[in-house]
A and B are shown apart, each in its own frame.
Chain A
Amino acid sequence: MDNQKFPIKINGKDFDAIQGQTILEVAKSQDYEIPSICYHPNLGTIQTCDTCFVQVKGELVRACATKAEPGMEVDTLSKMVKDAQYEAMSRILKNHELYCTVCDNNNGNCVVHNTAEYLEIEHQKYKFEAKPYPPDNSHPFYRYEPDQCILCGRCVEACQDLQVNETLTIDWEREAPRVIWDNDVPIDESSCVSCGHCVNVCPCNALMEKSMLGEAGYLTGIPANMLGPMIDLTKEVEPGYKEIFAISEMEAAMRKARIKRTKTVCTYCGVGCSFEVWTKGREILKIEPTEEAPVNGISTCVKGKWGWDFVNSEERLTHPLIRKGEEFVEATWEEALNLIAGKLTEIKDQHGANSIGYIASSKCSNEENYLFQKFARAVMGTNNVDNCSRYCQSPATAGLMRTVGIGGDAGTIKDIAAAELVIVVGANPAESHPVLSTRIKRAHKLHGQKLIVADLRKNELAERADVHLHPKPGTDLIWISAVTKYILDQGWQDKEFLENRVNGLDDYLTSLEKFTLEYAEERTGLTKDEMIQIAAMIHEAKSVCALWAMGVTQHMGATDTSTAISNLLLITGNYGKTGTGAYPLRGHNNVQGACDFGTMPAWFPGYEPVQDREVRERYEKAWGVSLPEEPGYDNHQMVEGIHKGELKALYLFGEDMALVDSNSNYVDSCLEKLDFFVVQDIFFSKTAQFADVVLPAAPSLEKDGTFVNTERRIQRFYKVFEPLGQSKPDWEIFRDLANLMGAKWAYTHPGEIMKEAASLAKLFSGVSYERLEGWNSQLWPVTADGTDTPLLFEERFGFPDGKAKLVAVDWTEPFQPGEEYDLFLNNGRLLEHFHEGNMTYKSEGLTHKVPHPWVEISLELAQERNIEDGSLVSLTSPYGNVEVRAIITDRVKGNELYLTMNTREDNEAVNKLTSSYHDKVTHTPAFKEMDVKMEVLELKGEPPLPEVNHRFGNRIPQISVRVEEKWKRDDFTPIQDLFRGDEYGQSDQAN
């Protein structure tokens, strides 16, 4: 019966319904209006507002909760329906004062306003009654005004079942119900992660962005002593709501003249959320997501929803800077670019093209990465160009290139949500990829998805998982291989899939011989039972997705572990179908795109090798130059090259290498050795301190472009503001510099750059700005006619014969600095800050929630070493030393520490401790392989994490808003009981 279409009649007119759709969904899918307030397409049916009553077979039913059936006849116009809807709306207006014209939510999209207007409410049946609660303004970013809250429960549904943070509930027990946070604590002190879901879905002004208050409307900035009487006056003289609505609509239309709404794509991780930015002048009023956004719908996270203050920060670079003696001096663009052009030419002439390195940015656009590699290759004649995926994701890409031939996520976020089993290895998506993790949490909570998390820390997903594995650090390859071997030993492999679609089985089987459960138990610390359970869960699941991130890729054996994961998926046939595949979770907004568009030493855009003569000739012809054929240096080799004296100059943009590269002391000493160093950034970063010329760049909100998210999805972002001061979009800087060096590039808009890239790289043949207009997106490969590929490998894998390859791999023992370093050092990102925090610390609210980095210490270790929350400890590795304050938590176990990376201070930065050891294949540093010794410097001190942080909250999990409890209240009369036939009863209501 799935997806079977049948007709139903609404008011005598035929509508196509699909099996499983509700009456409301049928109507909405065909743009037919049935009023509704609590229903939201991203949330589903909630049943609290009662405005969607319709008549079926003479009875009143909720259109949102009644499934369409073949031959059904629905009446939405009868007197009984109108009376029921009027009753429902009146109950809502008892909870909500209509002062639309002086309300900041009157922007044309207020659901309560629009529904009341649609229902032609003239007067209100029940008098508005204020609730006995003051507004909650405790949270830095949003407020809750109980007086305006209609108790529809959208916010609760979003918090419980979409974001699945489980903070909000409605307390239906009390005399005047309201939304409460945790056990009724102020919002700021609750488990709220500030993701913004509740505010995004609120159908009125009860939950609002504080940045909107008093700013959005023409009359909303009125002080309270004037506003109160004005509302009274309006209500006193109101002839009916029709006139009020007419005025509020006019005012809403006027607001459009000064509030600009621009679509953008978030830059805080690789998930690729898109939303509108609402601005007034240079002021950001709010981030407004929409259900049309292909990845996130109305979902956002704390950084994407609130973290944009950095754009207008006083600390932005607004002029080029040139090093003169012991200081930087502001310069004109002409001076700066002339100096760069002169110096680069001089060094190239003297030491050769390969004496200069180019480091690109995974935060900048595809077009900018394309132009940068074109600059390095075509203007400067070298393949020494790389991007910061080298620090994180290259091993995952390499592992997939080996086994399935394409280095990208196999499917989309929808596949992850649809999988029967999700395995997460060495990743913390709830903090690093928050919106993606919500889809896992939702599927796990509501739809029976199974979840296995392998991680040293009991992170949020681990807490929620069916199984949380805690292997010894750096041993993932072993247990994954052992599980794979066990599956093969049981005969649980997908024989048909292996037969038809996979090469290399025999050699692979031989390589697995050593990975017995006994061997794995000894090396990983996991029990045989645990591994057998994992194997059985994989066997029982019809579809499996494997997700991983830095816990896998920042090891010496990272490419091999990534390969082992892909091998496991191949053995079990988990590729090429909905709900299956490998998903390395890209950490930056454009890690994928930077690699896709060619800032890699061995690849042209679209992963075509520079050594391939045919490919090279294609680019030589298009660009009118001859191109170097040998692959260039990657980031790691560039640092080595400086050390050896081979690399004399470096041009880097959008990357804080001095902080984020491993073994900072060593990297810093190399940067000091450069003859000439250009840094292009929006802030004066740590890396910029080593530069000879610093160029002020413009962030995503100040330019047009495209990003590729972790799903391989190409999305456009649009310019919101003009660049601040004299800063410029990176692509303009490259163009101007190239032209100064004789390139004659005529680009006037990034769309032209994309057009050129699409004409040269086969992977993007059909990509164009026209096809990417608005909320449209394309997932590569894109054929010339614009057909994209949401799910890879349905027919063939990315090798010439279309078959995947099983690749034998062996375990690489992690680096250990020696006996005296007795504690394992884990490290990573956290929810509230992006990396070192150059951008996110510019937000007062984010800094209020998380002001400092910290080190997590286990309960056992804290007891053993006498350490408490707030103690200052020093951590020392063979490479350096840091001093941070401690948080004692059961998220970490035994002798494993976790150091957060949200700092710009040298003596707190984790990379003062990490080494230069690296993945054998891709040279990605082994950030996750370090042991340290710890010394307590001060026992007492202020805890680094304030109490107003969600980590100290107390979640209240439940499914949805529990409308049944509302229905059970003594003062609630079901509307359908009031209007049976013509005998209308009297009503009480409690909504």
Chain B
Amino acid sequence: MAKAIKQIKKKNHNQEEEQASAVASIVKEIANNSDAILTMIGIVKNLHEMGALDTISALIEKRNDVGVIAIQQINKPEMHKTIKNGINTFNFLGTIDPEQLRTMLFGITKGLERASESVGKKENQSLWQMGKAMRNPDTRATISMMMDFMQGMGEGMANVPTNKK
């Protein structure tokens, strides 16, 4: 004879058992990864000494308040410009042929060397000397390149892609 019953006696020590088994599995993982854990402890110790942990903890705790302030600061016209300029610059870099830039930069490096030599001499070239220098093929190459650059720039300025397609 078994009457219907609803009473269930839960073992009190179940929670302790579950805790014990959870702790055991954590200890096992720690033992298996002791090197990584020790390194991490080192990092945490340093962060703590720096006071960085307190800062991070406060930031996390107050993440919404801090986030709102930050986003308000960022969501201003100057910041819009900064971000847009950042993105435009980034995009600009993406459009340059690395080989061309390398040639240019190499030239600029050489140019700088010579320029700093000239600064060191503390002696300016006379107009005559400058005139003579124009005959120098290296100088001519730079100037003709500058002329091409200016032409291209003019072309580019006339055809800036609009933001409305």
Nearest CB of chain B from residue A705's CB, rounded to whole Å? 28
Are B14 and A326 in contact, CB atoms less than 8 angstroms apart?
no
Nearest CB of chain B from residue A978's CB, rounded to whole Å? 15
Are A328 and B8 in contact, CB atoms less than 8 angstroms apart?
yes
Contacting A323 at CB < 8 Å: which of B2, B68, B84, B164? B2
Interface of A is mostly: mixed
Are A692 and B67 in contact, CB atoms less than 8 angstroms apart?
no
Nearest CB of chain B from residue A593's CB, rounded to whole Å? 30
Are B5 and A233 in contact, CB atoms less than 8 angstroms apart?
no
Which residues from A are CB-within-8-Å of B7? 326-328
Are B67 and A222 in contact, CB atoms less than 8 angstroms apart?
yes
| Stretch from B71-79, B115-123, B128-136 that touches the partner | B71-79
Contacting A684 at CB < 8 Å: which of B2, B8, B71? B8
Which residues from A are CB-within-8-Å of B1? 672-673
Question: How far is B7's CA from A122's CA once the two chains are assembled, in angstroms?
Answer: 66
Contacting A226 at CB < 8 Å: which of B8, B67, B80, B165? B67
A-B contact count (CB 8 A): 84
Are B80 and A327 in contact, CB atoms less than 8 angstroms apart?
no
Contacting B3 at CB < 8 Å: which of A122, A226, A330, A672? A672
Contacting B87 at CB < 8 Å: which of A239, A328, A677? A239
B83 at the interface (CB under 8 A from A): yes
B6 at the interface (CB under 8 A from A): yes
Question: How far is B64's CA from A830's CA once the two chains are assembled, in angstroms?
Answer: 45
B163 at the interface (CB under 8 A from A): yes
In the complex, which residues 212-228 of chain A have their Cβ closer than 8 Å to any Cβ of chain B? 222-223, 225-226
Are B83 and A237 in contact, CB atoms less than 8 angstroms apart?
yes
Question: How far is B54's CA from A312's CA once the two chains are assembled, in angstroms?
Answer: 37
Question: How far is B8's CA from A729's CA once the two chains are assembled, in angstroms?
Answer: 22
Given contacts A326-B7, A329-B9, contact A226 B64 (CB under 8 A): yes
In the complex, which residues 23-53 of chain B have their Cβ closer than 8 Å to any Cβ of chain A? none
Are B163 and A327 in contact, CB atoms less than 8 angstroms apart?
no
Taking CB as reference atom, which chain A residue is nearest B70? A226
Question: How far is B11's CA from A319's CA once the two chains are assembled, in angstroms?
Answer: 10
Contacting A690 at CB < 8 Å: which of B2, B75, B83? B2
Most chain-A CB neighbours within 10 Å: which of B71, B87, B164?
Answer: B71
In the complex, which residues 52-93 of chain B have their Cβ closer than 8 Å to any Cβ of chain A? 64, 67-68, 71-72, 74-75, 80, 83-84, 87-88, 91
B127 at the interface (CB under 8 A from A): no
B158 at the interface (CB under 8 A from A): no
Nearest CB of chain A from residue B113's CB, rounded to whole Å? 38
Most chain-A CB neighbours within 10 Å: which of B2, B11, B75, B87?
Answer: B2
In the complex, which residues 325-345 of chain A have their Cβ closer than 8 Å to any Cβ of chain B? 326-330
Taking CB as reference atom, which chain B residue is nearest A332? B11
Taking CB as reference atom, which chain B residue is nearest A90? B165
Given contacts A122-B165, A239-B84, A243-B87, contact A330 B8 (CB under 8 A): yes
Which residues from B are CB-within-8-Å of A125? 164-165
Contact-residue size bin, chain B (C-beta under 8 Å from the other chain): 20 to 34
A31 at the interface (CB under 8 A from B): no
Are A237 and B87 in contact, CB atoms less than 8 angstroms apart?
yes
Are B14 and A330 in contact, CB atoms less than 8 angstroms apart?
yes
Which residues from A are CB-within-8-Å of B84? 237, 239
Question: How far is B74's CA from A255's CA once the two chains are assembled, in angstroms?
Answer: 26
Are A233 and B10 in contact, CB atoms less than 8 angstroms apart?
no
Nearest CB of chain B from residue A79's CB, rounded to whole Å? 13
How would residues 222 to 245 of chain A score, 1 for a CB under 8 Å from any chain B CB and 0 otherwise? 110110011011001101000100
Contacting B72 at CB < 8 Å: which of A229, A319, A321? A229
Contacting A672 at CB < 8 Å: which of B2, B11, B83? B2
Are B6 and A689 in contact, CB atoms less than 8 angstroms apart?
yes
Are A323 and B87 in contact, CB atoms less than 8 angstroms apart?
no
Question: How far is B9's CA from A323's CA once the two chains are assembled, in angstroms?
Answer: 10
In the complex, which residues 143-159 of chain B have their Cβ closer than 8 Å to any Cβ of chain A? none
Question: How far is B165's CA from A233's CA once the two chains are assembled, in angstroms?
Answer: 21
A691 at the interface (CB under 8 A from B): yes
Contacting A239 at CB < 8 Å: which of B6, B8, B91, B164? B91
Nearest CB of chain A from residue B67's CB, rounded to whole Å? 5
Are A326 and B165 in contact, CB atoms less than 8 angstroms apart?
no
Given contacts A226-B68, A226-B71, A233-B74, contact A323 B8 (CB under 8 A): no
B96 at the interface (CB under 8 A from A): no
Are A327 and B9 in contact, CB atoms less than 8 angstroms apart?
yes
A990 at the interface (CB under 8 A from B): no
Given contacts A233-B74, A672-B1, A672-B3, contact A327 B8 (CB under 8 A): yes
In the complex, which residues 645-670 of chain A have their Cβ closer than 8 Å to any Cβ of chain B? 658, 668
Most chain-B CB neighbours within 10 Å: which of A122, A237, A324, A691?
Answer: A237
Question: How far is B4's CA from A81's CA once the two chains are assembled, in angstroms?
Answer: 74
Nearest CB of chain A from residue B25's CB, rounded to whole Å? 13
A86 at the interface (CB under 8 A from B): yes
Question: How far is B88's CA from A673's CA once the two chains are assembled, in angstroms?
Answer: 84
Nearest CB of chain A from residue B164's CB, rounded to whole Å? 7
Are B75 and A330 in contact, CB atoms less than 8 angstroms apart?
no
Nearest CB of chain B from residue A481's CB, rounded to whole Å? 44
Are A691 and B8 in contact, CB atoms less than 8 angstroms apart?
no
Are A328 and B2 in contact, CB atoms less than 8 angstroms apart?
no
Most chain-A CB neighbours within 10 Å: which of B4, B91, B163?
Answer: B4
Which residues from B are CB-within-8-Å of A324? 9
Are B75 and A239 in contact, CB atoms less than 8 angstroms apart?
no
Taking CB as reference atom, which chain A residue is nearest B91? A239
Nearest CB of chain A from residue B9's CB, rounded to whole Å? 5
Are B2 and A671 in contact, CB atoms less than 8 angstroms apart?
yes
Which residues from A are CB-within-8-Å of B75? 229-230, 232-233, 236
Which residues from B are CB-within-8-Å of A86? 165
Binding site for A on B (CB under 8 A): 1-11, 14, 64, 67-68, 71-72, 74-75, 80, 83-84, 87-88, 91, 163-165
Can you give 18 A-B contacts (C-beta < 8 A)? A123-B165, A125-B164, A223-B64, A233-B74, A237-B84, A319-B10, A323-B2, A327-B5, A328-B7, A328-B8, A658-B4, A674-B2, A684-B6, A684-B8, A689-B5, A690-B3, A690-B4, A692-B2
Further contacts, 16 of them, CB under 8 A, given A222-B67, A321-B8, A690-B3: A122-B165, A125-B165, A226-B67, A226-B68, A229-B72, A229-B75, A237-B80, A319-B11, A323-B2, A330-B9, A330-B11, A330-B14, A671-B2, A672-B3, A677-B2, A692-B2
Binding site for B on A (CB under 8 A): 86, 122-123, 125, 222-223, 225-226, 229-230, 232-233, 236-237, 239, 243, 319, 321, 323-324, 326-330, 658, 668, 671-674, 677, 684, 686, 689-692
- Listed from nearest, the 7 A-B pairs whose CB atoms lie closest are A689-B4, A327-B7, A237-B83, A229-B71, A229-B75, A328-B8, A233-B75
